[in-house]
Amino acid sequence: MRRDAPAAKTELELLRSVKVGDIRCSVLFPAIDVDIDWICVSVAEKEWEFDATFLGQPLFHMKIVELPETITLELS
C-alpha cells in the first residue's frame, strides 16, 4: 500500500503506538481479521510483528514493514 494513502497514514499512526503484548482485533487488511486476535510480539523502528490466534489457537504470523514509499504486509 502506498504510504501516502489515507488508510496507510491511519495504520502508521496506530502502529507507532503499539507495544509488545498489545492485542489488536483487526489489521490493515480486513479480509484477515474476522474473529482473530493479533498479538504484537516484536516492535522495531519501522517493523512490527504479530502472531494471530483464532479461538486461542495459533493461526498466522504477520510482519508489517514501513518502507520509504509503501507499507508492506507479509503473512505466514
According to the 3-state scheme, what is the secondary structure of 17-65? CCCCCCEECCCCCHHHCCCEEEEEEEEECCEEEEEEEECCEEEEEEEEE
Distance (Å, whole) CA 62 – CA 76: 6
1 is a domain residue: no
- Residues 5-63 pLDDT 10s: 998 898 898 899 999 999 887 665 555 566 788 899 999 999 999 999 888 899 889 99
* 30 located within any domain: yes
Range of the domain at 49: 6-75
Residue 65 lies in a domain: yes
How far apart CA 35 and CA 1 sit, in angstroms, is 24
Q: Is residue 61 part of a domain?
A: yes
Number of domains in the chain: 1
What pTM was computed for the model? 0.83
Q: Is residue 22 part of a domain?
A: yes
